[in-house]
Amino acid sequence: MTPVATADEIGRQPEKREGAMAHRGTIKPDASDRERAPAAFIAALLVVLAVIIAGSLYLTVVRGEALFLDLAGLSGLLFCF
């Protein structure tokens, strides 16, 4: 049997193969190759999430007991315990 030279011995970088497509010889793109979402979109998404979280905290503080009683009654109807 003839010895096979590795990529390091030849002087090139070894291929990065990961995932289900590794057996077909495809190379997974690096994170630097991907495009990012625009900054305005990310900011708008964070604002929407902050409003939803703030609203849920407000409702829990102001109407907390009533919400928990409603949830208890609803779970009693759904699960028939």
| pLDDT value for 67 | 83
From first to last of its 81 residues, the chain has per-residue pLDDT tens of: 566 766 666 666 556 555 555 555 566 666 666 788 899 999 999 999 999 999 999 988 998 888 888 888 888 877 775
Rounded to whole angstroms, how far apart are CA atoms 31 and 43?
21
Look up the pTM and report it.
0.45
**Count helices and strands in the chain by DSSP H and E runs:** 2, 0
